[in-house]
Amino acid sequence: MSQYASHNINSFNVSNNFIAVDDRSNILAWLSPLDSKSRHQDIQDRRVENIGKWLLQTDEFRSWSASGGGDESDNRVLFCYGNPGVGKTYIR
């Protein structure tokens, strides 16, 4: 009996994996109709050198950056906020 149950579980997982692989692109398209890969490439191509460099030179940023220990347990996050269209996406 346990061999039969094990066989059914294994074949269910195999067929379930095939379904997930086949439907992956459909599910991703359903979740977001945006083509994130091409949007990312477009933004990367349109970036201009040194955009946002001013931010790295501010006393606030330097103080924030120097305050971390630099180890892997450092959980600091820099959150840039602003109105749509002000250029946050293009900061390098």
Answer whether residue 15 shows pLDDT above 80.
Answer: no
Identify the pLDDT of residue 83.
93
Identify the pLDDT of residue 21.
58
* CB-based contacts of 90, cutoff 8 Å, min separation 6: 43, 46, 47, 48, 51, 52
Residues 46 and 91: beta-carbon distance below 8 Å: no
| Residues 53-69 pLDDT 10s | 888 899 988 888 888 76
For the chain, which residues make up each domain, given as ranges? 1-33, 36-92
Tell me the pTM.
0.44
The Cβ of residue 53 has, within 10 Å, a number of other Cβ atoms equal to 10
